[in-house]
Every structure is written in structure tokens, then in C-alpha cells.
Amino acid sequence: MELITKAPRGTQDVLPGASSEWQHIERTALSIAEDYGFREIRTPVFEHTELFQRSVGETTDVVQKEMYTFEDKGNRSITLRPEGTAGAARAVLENGLIGGALPLKVSYVTACYRYEKPQAGRLREFHQFGVEMFGASAPTADAEVIALGAAILEEFKVPNITLYINSIGCPECRKKYQEALKEYFTAHKGDLCETCLGRLERNPMRILDCKSKVCSAIAEKAPVILDYLCEECQTHFDGVQDCLKAAGIAYKIDPRIVRGLDYYTRTVFEFVSRSDALGSQATVCGGGRYDGLIEELGGPQTPALGFGMGLERLLLTLKDAGYAFPKSSVCEVYFAPMGDKAVKECFALVTQLRNGGVSAQTDVVGRGLKAQMKYADKLGARYTVVVGDNELETRKAQLKDMQTGTITEVDLDDGLYTTLYNLSLDRQLAGVAEMLGQVAEN
């Protein structure tokens, strides 16, 4: 019988064997962000369409080509979120958080949706870890957000990563730059794609972000924004660089970075990975400052900035580099019952151990002993305990280490939890000693 349907193109299932890798990345990122003062926020998966039209920008590829937009049963235009910043900004504004202690720092792990051609690390349903900071205008804030991204990537030892930074100025100094771009691209009007011809009048900076090879080649020789920065924006950009240098964070200036969303102002940055898994190079983390977004959404003028980190891209990069993900503890100890009385006894034992925080399992399908041992092996159980009539009578059982073959006698009524705890502690201490020995050798 054939399946009635399969997962939609551009989506993927995260199966139990892989979910622990995702959880490790998410927990690590959220934990490091918390050290920087960022607390988790959760927002709806869909928003009113105008939120993204106003914030992301109507001339962007995201709004023009990629959003999943539909009318709900109340004839309201609804869009699945294509990125995380707009929803977070709407949430903090709507709930009055802007009026509290500033700067306000939030972080999130979220699913986003864009209709585009699926490829390695770029799906139609994709996931991001992101942070946003509201109410901080100093260059130090920019450097702090960049430092947080660097700290997360450093924690994972992401190889071949380069930080690129740029400033796209404020609305005032961008006016002259827009004029220069318009003049330049008008001279190449006959070669621009249809989309960029529309951008030429409304927002020529968007042409710099076009994926067309022809438009990209033309854009290579276009004027650069750094030549048009006003004094205040230049001072801010210099301050960001001074902070990064003081913290020992290496970077390169790339005047072509504009990012793909219209709300950005001044500092923009990208962490780019050169990985075979991503097809040469790709942005793993990108962000910048968006000082006009809160005001654009109807709030008070509030400086803000943040970044988004693509989790699919990060996961592919880590796997390509051979990153050692922690093994999930599916089963610390498996109890194999022999007989009806033993089934009840083993169920009681695993319940007690689970309540104490130990990952324990027992037979729930009526397997024989041999089949149970095969199942325990497939689970990767660290220890097994066979419980039959003799064990029920003596209240003693043999705890077998499935890796070393070592057997330890345990008391079924008392001391089982303590024995497992001590064995786990011994393994941890041995691991630490091995690590210290390797460090000493190096």
C-alpha cells in the first residue's frame, strides 16, 4: 500500500536519532545567549501580512517572491513568518516591553518559511537561532551582538569561518548613495533583470543583493556605501571596529554587504563558512542594526539590532567538520523480566529509577529473554539486569556493563540507584582524567 502523501518539498523530518543534535545546538546557543543577558521569547508562527511588508520591505525578494501568504476564514491576509526579527519587535512593542528597563535583550529558536528553491542548508521550512537587542545605540552594543555570534560559533569550533562587517549608513547619508547607485545602474539598464528594473526606481540598493549572475557582475563595480557615510555613521562604524579589536575578534570589511531586508541601518555583518557541505561558502549567521524598525511599526524611536543563525546550515557545517555531538542517554539500564511476577517487579524498579532521573527501560511487549537482550543492545543500554524467580527470591541481581562485561551484584530493594550513580560518577571521573592526560601530553 502506497503512502497517501509525503512531506512537502523543501521540508524535512527530524527523526529521533538526529533530534539530540538539534537539542544540543539549541541548548548551547540559548545558554551562551543567557550569559550575555538575553532571555528567550516565543512568538506566533504566523502574523498579519502587513507586519512583514512594512518591516522587511516591499522591494525585497522575501516579500516579492518568497512569503507564504494566504487569507484566513475572516478574510485577513496572514503570512507564515519568513524571519524572526519582525515578530519579536511586534511582540515587545505590543506588550509594552519597550517601556521597561533598556536595553531589552531577547533570544529565540524559531521555524521560518520562504518559498524558494531548496538546496543544501536552505529549505522552505528552516530554523533559526536569533537574538534582538532593543534600546542600545552605542557601538559597544553592535560589538556585543557580534561577539555573541562569535562565541557560539567558537563553542562549536566551526572551521573556516570569517566575520565580514560593513556599514550601510543612516537614511540621511544613504540618500546620496541611492542617487549614485541609480545613476550607475541606469547606465546598465538594458542588462538588468526585470526584478531589478523595478528596484531601480524604488530602492536601487536592493540590486546589490540580486542573485542573478548578470546583475551581480554589474553590481561588482557599483559605488560603495562606505564612500558616502555621514560623519556620525562613520564615527559609529569606527567605534564598532575599535570594540572588536579590543576584544580580539578578527574581522574583514566587505562594502558589498547590504543584507536582504530593508529594515537594516548602519552596522551589518555576516559570519561566512567555507564548507563542502554548503557548496563552497555560505552565511551561517548574519545580522545588523535596525534603528528605525520599532518606529516603523508604530512605536517610539528605539535603536535596535540583532542576528539570525541558520541552524540547518550550522548543523551541516558541524557534521562536515566531524563535530562530536554528545550521545543521548536513551537507556542507562535495561531490566529483562522472566515471568509474570518479574514483569511487575521490573516495572516498579524502572518507575523508581526514572523518578530519580535515571533513564531506565523494561519489556512492554512480552519478548523472550534472548529477544530482550537484542533489543537492549539496539537501544545502546549501558547496563542490563535480568530478573527471574531466583532474583525475586534473594532480592539480589547481576548488573552487567554491556561495554566492559563487568558484573556487579546489586540489591533490588536498596542501593540500586546508589550503585548506578557511583558507576556513572566513576565513568565521568575517568573521562576527566583521560582528558587531562591528553592535555598534558600536548
User: How many domains would you assign to the chain?
Assistant: 2
Q: Confirm whether 151 is domain-assigned.
A: yes
Question: pTM for the complete prediction?
Answer: 0.85
Residue 436 — pLDDT band, cuts 50, 70, 90? Answer: very low
Residues 284 and 406 in one domain: no
Shared-domain flag, residues 55 and 163: yes
How many angstroms separate the CA atoms of 388 and 386, rounded? 7
pLDDT in tens, 58-73: 667 777 788 999 999 9
Within a domain: residue 5?
no
Backbone angles phi, psi at 33, to 5 degrees: -60, -35
Contact between 193 and 170 under an 8 Å Cβ cutoff? The reply is: no
Residue 79 covered by a domain: yes
Q: Which of 287, 320, 353 is the last residue of a domain?
A: 320
Q: What is the CATH number of the domain that holds 406?
A: 3.40.50.800
Beta-sheet strands, E only, within 180-324: 252-253, 265-275, 280-289, 304-310
Q: With respect to residue 49, please indicate whether it lies within any of the assigned structural domains.
A: yes
Domain annotation covers residue 436: no
**By three-state DSSP, how is residue 398 classified?**
strand
Query: Percent of the chain having pLDDT more than 90?
Result: 60
Same domain, 277 and 392: no
Nearest alpha carbon to residue 420 among 370, 336, 354, 372: 354
pLDDT tier at 422 (50, 70, 90 boundaries)? confident
Q: Is the pLDDT of residue 437 over 70?
A: no
272, 293, 320 — which closes off a domain? 320
Shared domain for 240 and 309, answered yes or no, is yes
Same domain, 292 and 155: yes
With respect to residue 180, please indicate whether it lies within any of the assigned structural domains.
Answer: no
The verdict on 155 and 56 lying in the same domain is: yes
User: Is residue 238, in this structure, part of any structural domain at all?
Assistant: yes
Average pLDDT over residues 248-267: 86
What ranges make up the beta strands (E) of 290-403?
304-310, 333-337, 360-362, 383-387, 396-401
Instruction: Tell me, yes or no, whether 410 and 316 share the same domain.
Output: no
The pLDDT value recorded for residue 438 is 46
264 in a structural domain: yes
Q: Are residues 262 and 144 in the same domain?
A: yes
Contact predicate 167/233, CB 8 Å: yes
**Residue 420: which of 295, 302, 333, 338 has the closest Cα?**
333
CA distance 93 to 74: 25
Query: What SS3 state is found at 44?
Result: coil
Residue 207, pLDDT above cutoff 60: yes
The domain of 132 spans 16-170+230-320
Give yes or no: residues 313 and 268 share one domain: yes
386 φ/ψ angles, rounded to the nearest 5 degrees: -95, 130
When mean pLDDT is compared across 30-44, 247-261, 424-438, the lowest value belongs to 424-438
Q: Based on the fold, state whether residues 138 and 259 are members of the same structural domain.
A: yes
Q: Report CA-CA distances (Å) from 9 to 6, 78, 119, 127, 203.
A: 9, 21, 11, 16, 32
- One domain for residues 316 and 338: no
Angle at 165 between CA 291 and CA 274, to 5 degrees: 130
DSSP string, 164-218: EEEE---HHHHHHHHHHHHHHHHTTGGGS-HHHHHHHHH-GGGGGG---HHHHHH
**Sequence-separated (6 or more) residues with CB below 8 Å from residue 355:** none
Nearest Cα neighbor of 388 from 380, 378, 398 is: 398
d(CA 38, CA 108): 9
Summarised one tens digit per residue, pLDDT across range 112-168 is: 999 988 877 778 999 999 999 999 999 999 999 999 999 999 999 998 899 999 999
Last residue of a domain, one of 293, 320, 347: 320
- Catalogue the long-range contacts made by 195-199 (C-beta closer than 8 Å, 24 or more residues apart): 195/61, 195/64, 198/59, 199/59
| 217, amino acid identity | A
258-278 pLDDT, tens digit per residue, is: 776 678 899 999 999 886 666
Same domain, 250 and 369: no
| β-pair partners for 305 | 133, 289
Say which CATH number the domain at 316 has. 3.30.930.10
Q: Note if the bond before 204 is cis, omega within 30 degrees.
A: no
